[in-house]
């Protein structure tokens, strides 16, 4: 008698988390790259600020792009696995890739999120001290960092799932 097929519920849950993480990262990217403001300094001069004028926001952008590429790759792997029942990377290599990839990605996204929040808080304090109106600019930066934080939480949960899957799969082979 053949053993019953394994449940696809954990695979579907991880796929949903990967898609949700991708959507959050995409929204964070859109909010971040549209973050610009123009502040009049006096009657003649005005100051135009883009997100990429701040080095910390460039790091946030890099962490978002790394997260998007990784989550898109992992989503494709998960869809292939659900559709065929086979893993694209055979043997233990796929589980090891998931394990270390999820760990690295979660750290990259956590540090990107922290850089975004930290830079925004410090720059907002400077702008407020000089009585400059950058509120919309900083609100968008906070929104982007918040979306990145939610994506990091998805990556952290996926990291826990891959931590549980690795020893189980390595012991079965």
Quick: pLDDT tens for 97-112: 888 899 999 999 999 9
pLDDT band at 67, cuts 50/70/90?
very high
Mean pLDDT value across residues 6-34: 89
Is it the case that residue 3 has pLDDT exceeding 60?
Answer: no
Domain boundary assignment for the chain: 9-172
Report the mean per-residue pLDDT for the chain. Answer: 87
* CA atoms of 64 and 112, how far apart (whole Å): 8
* Residue predicted with more confidence, 130 or 57: 57
- Per-residue b or e along 97-133, where b marks 16 or more CB atoms closer than 10 Å to that residue's CB: bbbebbeebbebbbebbbbbbebbeebbeebeeeebe
- As to burial, measured by CB atoms within 10 angstroms (0-12 exposed, 13-18 middle, 19+ buried), residue 6 is exposed
Is it the case that residue 32 has pLDDT exceeding 80?
Answer: yes
């Amino acid at each position: 008698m053949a053993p019953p097929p394994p449940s696809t519920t954990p695979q579907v849950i991880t796929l949903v988390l990967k898609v949700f993480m991708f959507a959050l990262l995409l929204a964070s990217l859109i909010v971040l790259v549209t973050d610009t403001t123009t502040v009049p300094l006096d009657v003649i001069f005005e100051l135009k600020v883009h997100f990429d004028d701040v080095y910390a926001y460039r790091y946030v952008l890099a962490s978002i792009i790394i997260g998007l590429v990784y989550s898109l790759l992992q989503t494709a792997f998960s869809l292939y696995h659900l559709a065929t029942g086979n893993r694209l990377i055979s043997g233990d290599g796929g589980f090891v890739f998931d394990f270390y990839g999820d760990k690295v990605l979660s750290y990259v996204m956590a540090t990107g999120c922290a850089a975004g929040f930290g830079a925004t808080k410090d720059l907002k304090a400077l702008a407020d001290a000089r009585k400059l109106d950058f509120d919309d600019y900083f609100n968008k930066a906070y929104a982007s960092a918040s979306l990145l934080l939610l994506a990091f939480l998805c990556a952290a949960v996926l990291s826990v799932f891959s931590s549980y899957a690795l020893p189980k799969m390595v012991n079965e082979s």
